[in-house]
Amino acid sequence: MHVRDPAVLRPLVILISGTGSNMQAIVRAAARGRWRERYGAAVAAVISNRPDAKGLAWAAQEGIATAVVDHTAYPSREAFDAALAAAIDQHDPQGRGLVVLAGFMRILTAGFVQRYEGRILNIHPSLLPAFPGLHTHRRAIEAGCRFAGATVHRVTAELDHGEYLEQAVVPILPGDTPETLAARVLTQEHLIYPRAIERLLAAACAAEG
């Protein structure tokens, strides 16, 4: 007898700009952790602002819906964000899911952030509040830091400023380059991002059923 898949009440729409290794870690964690059965959650789509994002092909091979909203095709941030929101809403028409930034490299407007009222997550490759913005690993090394890491946080209009949900710390080793440090941090990112998402899903289920 075919058992109907449980309804997806909480779609996860993942935004990427490149490799999408965090997206892949989330997809794997969702399957391994049976998020659909346990929380009514599933990765509904992977959307990129860059047509050449390698993560799109991986997601498509997994049978996940993909889309490109190319930021270079729009005259303003507001126009891009409006097109991005329309693409997201196709996969979460009830607005009950999460928008998961995973290596997504565009600053979102305040209007976009307000539209998703606290349902946008991001992973940032530093121990916030240290080193918001770009080139975090080079900056940490140049600052002589002994530790680096990553932060999962809620997205606000202010860059890399929202509530922290998870953090991971790694040592900066003698001779580290931005590339060697990035690889060490990325390993931890792949652990804390799925963990943060699952905690939010479990809490939402407990609160809403």
Ligand X SMILES: Nc1nc2c(c(=O)[nH]1)N[C@@H](CN(C=O)c1ccc(C(=O)N[C@@H](CCC(=O)O)C(=O)O)cc1)CN2
Given the residues 71, 91, 124, 153, select the one marked as catalytic. 124
- Give the alpha-carbon dihedral of 55, 60, 66, 67, to 10 degrees: 70
Hey, CA dihedral for 197, 200, 203, 204, is it positive or negative?
negative
- 106 assigned binding-site residue: yes
In the complex, least distance from residue 15 CB atom to ligand X, rounded to whole angstroms? 8
Does position 11 interact with ligand GAR (CB under 6 A)? The reply is no
The window from 21-29, 83-91, 157-165, 173-181 that contacts ligand X (CB under 6 A) reads 157-165
- Is 153 an annotated catalytic residue? no
Using the rule CB under 6 A, which residue among 44, 127, 155, 186 binds ligand X?
Answer: 155
- 197 assigned binding-site residue: no
Does position 189 interact with ligand X (CB under 6 A)? The reply is no
Closest CA to 64 of 45, 42, 79: 45
Using the rule CB under 6 A, which residue among 160, 166, 176, 198 binds ligand X?
Answer: 160
Hey, CA dihedral for 24, 56, 180, 153, is it positive or negative?
negative
- Taking CA atoms, 201 is separated from 12, 40, 42, 70, 109, in Å, by 10, 9, 11, 30, 26
Cα–Cα dist 135/133, whole Å: 7
- 49 assigned binding-site residue: no
Active site residues: 124
User: By the criterion CB under 6 A, which residues form the site for ligand GAR?
Assistant: 16, 18-23, 102-103, 105, 123-125, 150, 186, 189
